[in-house]
Amino acid sequence: MDKQISLDSVAEQHEMKITEITGSRAQRTRMLQMGFTPGARVRIVRRAPMNDPVEIKLRGTSVLLRRDECQNIKVAEAE
């Protein structure tokens, strides 16, 4: 299995594949409802000053997440 890292540590414009969603049940449910599911491809578009929030491209849509939310999304290199 590829090395997993949290989404907040991914470089801008680098496409990754979601492997796992962590955090509380409520946090996991919210992420899954927004489309952050294992196997989905994500890309960091840009970061605001101080790295918070982060703009993410997911399934053709731009989503803004706080940095602490990104830490609960584990990703690996996309094939």
- Which CATH number is 17's domain given? 2.30.30.90
The count of structural domains within the chain is 1
**What is the structure's pLDDT at 12?**
92
**What is the structure's pLDDT at 51?**
83
pLDDT digits (tens, 9 = 90+) for 7-61: 999 999 999 999 999 999 999 999 999 999 999 999 999 999 888 899 999 999 9
Distance CA 53, CA 70 (A): 9
Which residues span the domain enclosing 22? 5-77
